[in-house]
Every structure is written in structure tokens, then in C-alpha cells.
A and B are shown apart, each in its own frame.
Chain A
């Protein structure tokens, strides 16, 4: 945290002291809703979100500085959250502070955007967890830079590099805490890691948005590629005999996304519509294996997978520009195939096929203006997952889940 503040201070000092125009950008939403899993439902709970970004535009300078605070409280689970233990109860909150600089010469389309950020996420998933003591609480410190060429606003191409460290302060391997058995013999294995979930990550990214036709845009096409390298600094590779080796886990995750958007207007522009289609493919290559001690089974490449998702979406809006009523609908199908994680039958016996999960997600949204920039919103998501993994002792692989959220949102 201290390092982040120091970096932010250095960054702020690097911007010359000049007359400043402050342009506040903020938004807040208050939503209440429920989460449904199988035939159970959670209690009514609130989701609150707040964003504040007082952008500082320095006159006679090429610099703009955007300090940001983002806060979230989630009382209602998202359908994409893991459905493992304690399936209904989950409360989370996160707080993120960041500073993004934008350097752009007056006569240039290029923007250089260094960013420094710190995020703390708290999660309560069981009744005995208190704020700050959640097993999966984490913080992330990130430093990044992006170069963007806005060759024809709002179309641009961007290149980015980020380095970030993620720490789970409450999660240390149990083995590192195991001590000795009643006879004084060690319970842990040699070379067992301690902070096994902590990662140092580096990411390079490139993306482009382009209009078609170029001179008279009717369709917008976006393409983005990311390569994320995650170094699990304290998670040793498990070897074929189930023992930790001297090598550490390393993951390479590549993501390629394509999306097409087509705006349309009807009835002389009174009804506006946007149609889109998304396609994403992601591959995670990990050198980590697992050893199922219960089954005495070594499984190589357990964390590697290939995922792709496709789906259309549409939104419709009508009314004055800052008081629009809108309806949105989106459907996504995704499929994840694990390279080394084998499917099991209902009794837990391993099968020859790798585990494959299919997900079908339907999302609906509605927003009704109450005052300029102030909206009544309603959202619902329904997710159906199926899998050839039939062993569901500690995690559900085939299920249906849904949530709904109703409330207000203000954006300025």
C-alpha cells in the first residue's frame, strides 16, 4: 500500500503544476435482489456501487490525471460466482483506488496512459467469516501503461502492458501449518509451499476497434488479444509421486476476443437499437499437476483448459438522449474443456474423457429514466451449466442458477 501511494505521489509530482480544470465523473447504484440456486433462494440483499473520478485537466499541458475510487458491496451473488460450498450466502465488497495519467500532444492521435492502482477485496462466504478474515480476501497492486491511437474517434487501436501482484493474505497452505503428528513425525511434505495462491502477473495486450465502411460507419468491429503470465511464486509443481518438486507453477493465459456491433435507428431516430455478436476464445496453459490422494491418482496438466464463448446481444432505447428508456438482452454459450482434469462418474471413479463444462447464460436488463442521468433499473440473469463431471461431492457441476436485481442508478 505504501509503495502504491509513493508511486502515486511520484506520478502526481511528475505532472507540472498548472491551472487545473476539474471534471467530476461519478456514478452510484443501489440495487436489491435475490440469488437462486437449484430450488433454494437467498434472502433479499443489497448491491451498492459507487464510482468517483474527479478528472484533472491541466491547462497548457498535455497531461490529464484521473484519480479514481471504485467501491462495491455485493449482498446478492452473481450467477457466475462459484457454486461450491455455502451456495447461497455470500457478501463481498471491494475498494479500489487508482490514478491514470493521460498524455496527449495537441497535434497527435496518440495517447500514453500510465496507471497505478490498489484494490482490496473482502469476501464473506460462510457465517463464521468476518470482514477482513475471509479466506479468499485478496489485494492487488498493479502498474500499467497503455498506448492508444484514436485514429478516428471513437475508433482506436491500443497496446498495453501491466504488471500486478495478487496476494491472498488469509490463505496459506494447510500443509505449511500442519506441524507434527502425536509421535513427533512431520505431517507436511518437504518443499510444501506457504502462500500458494499469491501470483506475480504480467500482461501484454493489443486491441483495435474499426468501423466498416471506414468513411461511413455502419458496423463496428473490435478485436482484442491478451497474454497473461502468472507466476505462482510459492506453489511447487506436484510430481508423479504426489510430492512437491523444486519447480514452481507458471500459467500462460491467452485470450482472443472479437465483437461486432451494429447501431440502427427506427422511426426517424426515435427508437435506437444496437445489435452485437461476441466471440471469445481463451487458453490457459499451466505446468501444474494434481495428485488425488483419496484416489491415489496423479493427473498432469490439471489447470490447463480451452474455453470459447459465443453469443448475440441487443439493446433498444428510446426517449431524449439523457433520459432514455432502454431494454437489453444477451445470450452467451460457453464451453470449457480441461486438458488434464478427468471426468469422474457419480462414485468418483475417473473416466477416460477430460472434464467439459457447458454454460448457457441469459441476461436481461431494463432501465427507466426518473430524472436526467437518474434511472430505475432491473436486471436478471439465468445460468444453466451442464458437465460430464458427475462426481459432485464437494462441488456442483450441473445446475441452474439465477438472480435478479432492482433499484436505482445515477451516472454523471
Chain B
């Protein structure tokens, strides 16, 4: 028989071997007829790789159709294999792929012996002739099936030995390893595990179970798909969260979201421009401060910017010669310009009333107290102008071309030229020539609360600064709010009664500052900006 198998595997269509093939075929026919007459189970059909191992042997041989199995011979089917075994009485067994099957005893129709076989793992389906029925037995690692019917299927899990038995027609006795037995009727199924027999299920129950199994498998796929989707969605959520955490999105006093972007532009080696952009639906506002310094700025611009608020004890290395500060809604603008910047030690400039006793120290992010006559160098500008859409609301120019300060100790910069003190409008030290266009309107001078300088919501940081000229034809209004990140107006109580000085400013740093600017030149439009107060302090707008 092994000869036949060998030949069957190696036979080919080569015409040169025709005579040899005919010869071998003839020999095979003779051998098959001898086998069928003496053996019990033969291979009726076969696809894929199937190998067998005879009892007591370690060699696996590939077989082909018409091969006859001997008692105790184990059959293993390959991954894509399928085979049908034919018993002498016409009964058939179909083996599925990846199956281990052993004919223990093929039975003998002439004797009253059992046809017994073992399904180690995999799947089999059997059609048993009635005359064989009472003598047909299949053993699995967990069950024994004694056939009293005609058609059934068995599948065995390779790892656990769990056995699923489905009877299509007839009767089937099933026993487990604990000695329990049951009888299956038409259409019934039972699962047998190491724990024993399961519950018998009818064809309807079986169908429902199969449907449920199918549904569970598909539901699992849906769940896996959704789990993956959650991972992808998390990536988008993280992008959004980072934008919030970096303070790029806040809410204004009206509950509208404001996108905030702040950065520094360096158009020339000695120029920096701090830009703050605000965007809300349907509007865009911006603020900028452009400073031209006395020398080229370092890569780490913070070294220079820390000195813009002034330097204690020693003269600043970097100071601004000129600046432009602008507010705009892209249509209207407020532009403040200054030029002729130079350093002055204002605590030793011989001018009474302008001494600084506390200064903002950017390094400490706080205010420091200065001793009397402790040198404090700050930048004073010789000219300044503030205009709304090009219309000046106030300006001044230096009243002197040069100022010889004492022995020159307080004077820094080329020629020590320029104004040495602002003082107050009527102070002896004030060297400026003022051109006042608008003045603050408050108290009894107010025509309405909307056009009146003062607090507008009791107990809350909501204030108005209103200025106008004598006839009221030129005016500007600054409406200021201090708000939290969610747009809530900060109450005065949050500052624990502190309304001025260093502590007040330190607390101010923890909130946001919203400024709404309107003016006679804007035609009813407004500039609406939300700042971080630090921007205003760094820019020198909050001294």
C-alpha cells in the first residue's frame, strides 16, 4: 500500500513515462482490489495534505485516494485538507482540516464488533448505515459517542479537548469522562468538556446559539473598531487640550471665546515687535508694541526687555530710542508714538517729585522697594503723540534741546540730550510742551454714566475712562474689565482690599484684562482686546 502512495504522489503527466504509469496503474488496481477485500476503511476522496502514521511507527507518510487505513493508524489532515473515508458497509466519515483521527477498529460486518475511532482534535462528520449504526463509536478526549442513528458531526478543540456534538438525524448516545450518559435525538446538540456533559439543545436553541455566537463575534469587531476610534479621537483631543493649557484660548466678559496669540517679531537687529492678536467670530483685533533699541538685540531678547521697565543702581545696557504702540480692529486704530528715548537716573536728576520708590523687577516678576536717591535709570522720550485714526488726541514735545544735568552724573547717552523729567503738568522739572486735545470727564461734568470716568459696577473691576474736548466733538472712551479665564468679572474683594501698589499689580498678573476702546473717529465701531496684564507691564503701559 505504501508503494501505491509513493507512486500516486510522484506520478506526473510526462508522456515519456506513459508506459511506466500504465504499468504502475495496473499494479495499483490489483493491490486496491486485494486491500478492499481484506481491509475495512479506505480513502474515498481527498484534497490537500493528509498523512498517516501506523501503530508503533514514528514515520508520517503522505497518502492519496483509495488508500486503506489499518487498525490503529492515525490520520492527520493539513491546514487546507479534507478527506472522506469509506467503510465497507457504505458508511462514510468526512474529516475536516487540521484534524487528528485514529481508526481503532474498523468493525466487521460479519462479526458483532464495534467500529471504534478516536477524534483527537478537529472536525468530523459521519453518515452511518443502519446496519452499522449500533456498532459505531467515536471517542474524543472528553466524550464517547455511540451511534444509533445515521448522520452527525463532531468537533474537538485541540487545546482543551472540548467537544461539540451535533446530531442531524437518528439517535446518538453520548458519555463523558465521569461516566454520565445522555441520548441525543434528531436535531439535538450537546457540548462536552472536562467538566462533563453540557445541556442538550434542540435545533432551534442551537440556531439561536449559533446566531448569538455570530452576533457576539461581530459585536466584538464593532467594539474593536470603536476602541481604535477612541485612540484616534484622543489624538485630536490632546491637540485641543494643549492649546488651552498654553493659554491660547480664553473667554471674554461677554461669554465669547477669544483666541489669543502673542509673539515677538524681529524686523531689524535692534527692533522688536510684541504682537497680541485676538480673534472672535466676525472680528479680529490686535495690539502691538514696536521698540527700536539703542543697539542690536541679543538672541535671548528677554535680556533687553527686562531692562525696559528701568534699571536699579546701574544704567541699562539696552533702552529704547523710540516706540510705536498700536491698537486696532483692522479698520480703526489708536497709535501712540514716542521718539528721542534716552536714559535718565530720575532719582538723581535734581528734580523734585519724580523719584521712584518702587520699581517692577522683571527678574523677580514683582516690585522692589528703592532707597532714597538709589539710582534708578529709566527711558524718557522727547516727543509723544496719541492719535485715533490719525486724529491727535494729545501730544507733547521736549522743551529743551539739551539739558546739562549737574556734573553729568545722572545723564546717560549721546549728548545727554532731551527731557530730564516729566514731573507733572505744572512742575518745575517738566520740560515738555503739551498739546492737550481731550481731557478726562468725571463727576458733575458727566452728561451720562456711559460718558463718565469712574467705576461702573459696584464691587467689580469694571471701569470707564472718558475724555473729550471742550465741545465734545472729539472724544475717546476706554472701558476696562478685569476678568477670570471664564469671563467672570473679578470682584474687588478678590484683591482683599488691596487697590494699589506692588501687591495690587502682583494680583493683577493672575487675571486677564479686557479693554474696549471707542472714539469719535470710529463711526460706532470698537476695538475690543483681551490682554494678559503682563503684556501691558512689559510694554510699560502699566507703570
Q: Which residues of A contact B (CB under 8 A)?
A: 23, 25, 51, 53, 55, 57, 64, 66, 68, 70, 81-82, 84-88, 94, 96, 98, 100, 102, 106-108, 113, 115, 117, 119, 121, 125-129, 133, 135-136, 138, 140, 142, 144, 146, 152, 154, 160, 162, 164, 166, 168, 173-175, 177-179, 181-183, 185-189, 197, 199, 201, 203, 214-216, 226, 228, 230, 240-243, 253, 290-291, 293-298, 302-303, 345-349, 391-396
Contact = CB atoms under 8 A, between A and B. Distances in A.
A86 B257 contact: yes
Contacts, number: 251
Interface in B244-268: 244-247, 249-251, 254-257, 259-267
A257 B174 CA distance: 45
B232 interface: yes
A152 B158 CA distance: 10
B255 A126 contact: yes
A181 B289 CA distance: 10
DSSP class of B's interface residues: helix, strand, loop or mixed? mixed
A348 B218 contact: no
A87 B485 CA distance: 9
B257 A393 contact: no
A203 B230 CA distance: 13
Given A25-B222, A240-B300, A135 B249 contact: yes
Interface stretch (B62-70, B128-136, B278-286): B278-286
Most B CB within 10 A of own CB, among A117, A177, A188, A293: A293
Contact of A177 (B255, B262, B279, B305): B279
Question: Which of under 10, 10 to 19, 20 to 34, or 35 or more describes the interface residues of B?
Answer: 35 or more
A240 B246 CA distance: 18
A64 B214 CA distance: 11
A199 B333 CA distance: 36
A75 B265 CA distance: 41
Given A102-B221, A296-B306, A346-B510, A126 B251 contact: yes
A116 B289 CA distance: 50
Contact of B222 (A51, A228, A395): A51
Contact of B281 (A70, A94, A133, A241): A133
Contacts of B250: 84-85, 394
B486 A53 contact: no
Interface in B494-543: 506, 509-512, 532, 534-535, 538
B229 A119 contact: yes
B324 A183 contact: yes
B424 interface: no
A140 B243 CA distance: 19
A303 B232 contact: no
A349 B364 contact: yes
Contacts of A199: 235, 239
Contacts of B239: 166, 168, 197, 199
Contacts of B235: 166, 199, 201, 228, 230, 253
A127 B255 contact: yes
DSSP class of A's interface residues: helix, strand, loop or mixed? loop
Nearest to A211: B159
Most B CB within 10 A of own CB, among A102, A108, A185: A185
A394 B485 contact: yes
Nearest to A96: B229
B509 A182 contact: no
B231 interface: yes
Most A CB within 10 A of own CB, among B221, B242, B300: B221
Given A23-B214, A98-B225, A185-B273, 8 more contacts: A25-B218, A85-B485, A100-B225, A106-B97, A107-B98, A177-B277, A177-B279, A394-B244
A178 B277 contact: yes
